[in-house]
Amino acid sequence: MHAKPGKELILTSARSVRSFGHLLDVIAYAWLDAPLWELLQQPVAREDVRQALLTRYFPLTRHHFRPRAGQEKLEAIGRQMLEEPVAVYQQVALAADEPETLVRSAVFVREVLRAYDSTCAISGLQLVSTKGTAPLLDACHIVPWSESHDDTIGNGLALCPNLHRAIDQHLIWVDTDYRVRVAEGFGELGGHEYGVQRFNGQQLRLPKVRAWWPKVENLLAQRGSQR
């Protein structure tokens, strides 16, 4: 951050900014260094950075629903994700302001994990926090939100964090028969029972409700983006 002439940014004892108003009054502009800027041009990396910032600085926003959103509003968003045609939902999502977008992100996590019964669609591992804190499984967008603006249930998968990263990095993908495929040239050192290769050809574990299964067009789009 670059301060205005004659101004100084004053931090609290916890090394945080004293207030947002003080920040606006003192700081002229801020910039990112070149390596970080280049990294943020990649949709997957940009999403990882966004999630890391939310987890670090806004954990309640990231994993829970803000009270002011209202339970009825949350349920309405959930119904949109589960029932609305994608084109209709995208129009609503694109028109949403930033606070509502964050709420929608949290609802997406909730609905995807509900649909998959908090069970990884690939490994079959069921992970549930006994303390009611942040979910241990990830709700993965098949086609990244930054590209699709699609938070409907048909664009979601419940995955263990390592498998979420693998699918984002195109090391694995899911074919139109809902079978896991490992990308050519992906190898593992000292193969063991916790590796990824063992899932090659395995049938995906799908929600009980057929309408909640991943949309074939999303699987094709995710597969096509790695070519």
Q: What pLDDT digit, counting tens, does each position of 184-213 carry?
A: 877 766 656 677 888 999 999 999 999 999
* Percent of all residues in the chain with a pLDDT value above 70, rounded to a whole number: 76
* Predicted pLDDT at 99: 55
* Predicted pLDDT at 129: 66
* Predicted pLDDT at 76: 75
Is the full-model pTM beyond 0.75? no
* Predicted pLDDT at 174: 95
Q: Is 140 left (phi over 0), alpha (psi -120 to 50) or beta?
A: beta
Inter-residue contact 139 to 155 (CB < 8 Å): no
Of the candidates 175, 185, 186, the one whose C-alpha atom is nearest the C-alpha of residue 216 is: 175
* Predicted pLDDT at 24: 86
* Predicted pLDDT at 213: 95
Q: Spell out, as residue ranges, where the chain has pLDDT lower than 50.
A: 62-69, 133
Tokens 């057929």 correspond to 210
- For residue 226, the SS3 value is coil
* Predicted pLDDT at 212: 93
- Close Cβ partners of 139 (under 8 Å, ≥ 6 residues apart): 108, 109, 111, 112, 113, 156, 157, 158
Of the candidates 227, 81, 63, the one whose C-alpha atom is nearest the C-alpha of residue 145 is: 81
* Predicted pLDDT at 169: 86
Of the candidates 110, 97, 202, the one whose C-alpha atom is nearest the C-alpha of residue 153 is: 110
Of the candidates 103, 122, 112, the one whose C-alpha atom is nearest the C-alpha of residue 175 is: 122
d(CA 205, CA 178): 9
